[in-house]
């Protein structure tokens, strides 16, 4: 008896419609899988989906929260589109976000007397540098010693996270926090303005939108962007054309780390007004940003939209946690399932798959 087998044939081209179709089908299958998980948890999947949607997008409050959460996702996600384009698989945006938060908090606490128009820009600048330098470590290890940046950037997340813990439990613990592991509240000058009746710290949002456009222009229109695209698609050709691989690897990592750092600044200066333990600052924005970048097919402008969608999912996830009494990790399961299906779906755009008998 012959057993039917799958045969993979490389496609010469992958038309636009196929890429869109693969994405849509992947998302539908991801939803289906999530539905099974809900069912197993004893929740009616349709009700759960409805609650998620309503939570994230179905009310003014929900939308405001969704925009709020999309800010760090957008910043980190846009940065990652650039890194991934240059074939640097930066998985550590979460850690770079923490480093941005640390530097910004340090500046806010140290120079609390400074006026806002100096202090806030300095915090953003410092946060960018903090994230960028944190990302430079895996970049240099990769460019110099060919150490896999996936591992190093991921491991550095835990180092950064522990650094945050050390600071809030130790030297930075506030004087009027009744023992909680948090810093004192930043001075008013270090607090970002918000839209009325919301937590939307709009300067960061504007910065994120601006950077998305800038990164798009960088990739599409500049010499450097061209070098990044060539290096990402074919490092051999880049070398052959005399491009400096090490420079490009370092640069895309610095920028992507810097943007994640800015996301960290936004969280401490726009949401919390202080430094908290790591899980208080970020519910995994840096990791969710990977999905943001991938869903956007590495297009920084599309990342604005995907950041908004995933922000809504986070808010909706919070809503069902409370309403349907589900564990807090449910949202992370969603994210994982979605990423898995989206990446697996790409296979269909690159290969033609046949069943052979």
The 10 Å CB-count burial string (b at 16+, else e) for 312-336 is bbbbbbbbbbeebebeeebbbbbbe
* 148 counts as binding other proteins under rule CB under 8 A: no
What radius of gyration, in Å, describes the C-alpha atoms of the chain?
21
Q: Which single residue is written with the structure tokens 């290890």?
A: 141
Interface residue with other proteins, options 44, 121, 166, 222 (CB under 8 A): 222
By C-alpha distance, which of 65, 119, 123 is closest to 262? Answer: 123
Interface residue with other proteins, options 23, 125, 159, 224 (CB under 8 A): 224
79 within 8 A of 259, measured Cβ to Cβ? yes
Report how far residue 284's alpha carbon sits from residue 314's, in angstroms, rounded to the nearest whole number. Answer: 10
Residues 6+ apart with CB under 8 A from 216: 299, 300, 301
Q: How many residues bind other proteins (CB under 8 A)?
A: 21
Nearer to other proteins, 111 or 226 (CB): 226
Interface residue with other proteins, options 6, 145, 236, 355 (CB under 8 A): 236
Q: Which of the residues 162 through 221 are near other proteins (CB under 8 A)?
A: 221
Interface residue with other proteins, options 49, 226, 245, 348 (CB under 8 A): 226
Interface residue with other proteins, options 165, 199, 229, 332 (CB under 8 A): 229
Q: Which of the residues 304 through 323 are near other proteins (CB under 8 A)?
A: none
Nearer to other proteins, 103 or 238 (CB): 238
Report how far residue 152's alpha carbon sits from residue 170's, in angstroms, rounded to the nearest whole number. Answer: 26
**Which residues are 9's β-sheet partners?**
352
Q: Which of the residues 121 through 140 are near other proteins (CB under 8 A)?
A: none
* 223 counts as binding other proteins under rule CB under 8 A: yes
**Closest approach of Cβ 255 to other proteins, in Å?**
14
* 9 counts as binding other proteins under rule CB under 8 A: no
Nearer to other proteins, 57 or 245 (CB): 245
Report how far residue 275's alpha carbon sits from residue 177's, in angstroms, rounded to the nearest whole number. Answer: 12
**Closest approach of Cβ 86 to other proteins, in Å?**
13
* φ, ψ at 352 (rounded to 5°): -100, 130
278 within 8 A of 94, measured Cβ to Cβ? no
The 10 Å CB-count burial string (b at 16+, else e) for 284-307 is bbbbbbbbbbbbbbbbbbbbbebb
Of 123-131, 144-152, 229-237, 252-260, which segment contacts other proteins by CB under 8 A?
Answer: 229-237
Q: Which of the residues 13 through 32 are near other proteins (CB under 8 A)?
A: 13
* 241 counts as binding other proteins under rule CB under 8 A: yes
**Closest approach of Cβ 221 to other proteins, in Å?**
5
* 242 counts as binding other proteins under rule CB under 8 A: yes
By C-alpha distance, which of 155, 163, 175, 177 is closest to 272? Answer: 177
**Closest approach of Cβ 293 to other proteins, in Å?**
18
Coil vs helix vs strand at 6: strand
Binding site for other proteins (CB under 8 A): 5, 12-13, 221-226, 229-230, 233-234, 236-237, 239-243, 356
């Amino acid at each position: 008896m012959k057993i039917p087998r799958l045969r993979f044939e490389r496609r010469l081209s992958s038309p636009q419609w196929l890429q869109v179709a693969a994405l849509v089908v992947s998302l539908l299958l991801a939803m289906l899988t999530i539905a099974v998980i809900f069912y197993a948890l004893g929740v009616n999947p349709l009700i759960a989906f409805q609650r998620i949607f309503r939570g994230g997008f179905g009310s003014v409050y929900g939308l405001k929260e969704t925009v709020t959460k999309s800010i760090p996702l957008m910043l980190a996600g846009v940065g990652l589109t650039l890194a991934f384009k240059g074939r640097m698989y930066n998985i550590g945006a979460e850690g770079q976000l923490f480093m941005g938060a640390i530097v910004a908090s340090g500046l806010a606490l140290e120079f609390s007397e400074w006026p806002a128009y100096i202090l806030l820009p300095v915090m953003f600048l410092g946060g960018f540098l903090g994230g960028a330098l944190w990302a430079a470590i895996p970049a240099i290890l990769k460019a110099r010693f060919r150490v896999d940046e996936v591992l190093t950037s991921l491991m550095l997340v835990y180092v950064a996270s522990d650094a945050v813990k050390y600071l809030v439990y130790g030297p930075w613990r506030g004087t009027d926090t009744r023992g909680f592991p948090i810093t004192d509240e930043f001075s008013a000058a270090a607090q970002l303005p918000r839209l009325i009746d919301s937590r939307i710290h709009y300067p960061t949002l504007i910065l994120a939108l601006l950077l998305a456009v800038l990164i798009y222009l960088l990739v599409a229109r500049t010499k450097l962007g061209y070098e990044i695209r060539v290096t990402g698609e074919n490092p051999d050709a880049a070398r052959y054309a005399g491009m400096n691989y090490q420079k490009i690897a370092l640069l895309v990592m610095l920028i992507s780390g810097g943007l994640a750092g800015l996301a960290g600044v936004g969280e401490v200066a726009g949401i919390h007004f202080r430094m908290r333990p790591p899980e208080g600052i970020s519910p995994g924005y840096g990791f969710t940003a990977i999905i943001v970048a991938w869903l956007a097919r590495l297009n920084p402008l599309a990342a604005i939209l995907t950041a908004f969608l995933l922000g809504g999912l986070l808010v909706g996830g919070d809503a069902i946690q409370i309403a349907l009494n589900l564990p807090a990790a449910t949202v992370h399961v969603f994210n994982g399932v979605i990423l898995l299906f989206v990446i697996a779906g790409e296979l269909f755009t690159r290969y033609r798959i046949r069943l052979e008998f």
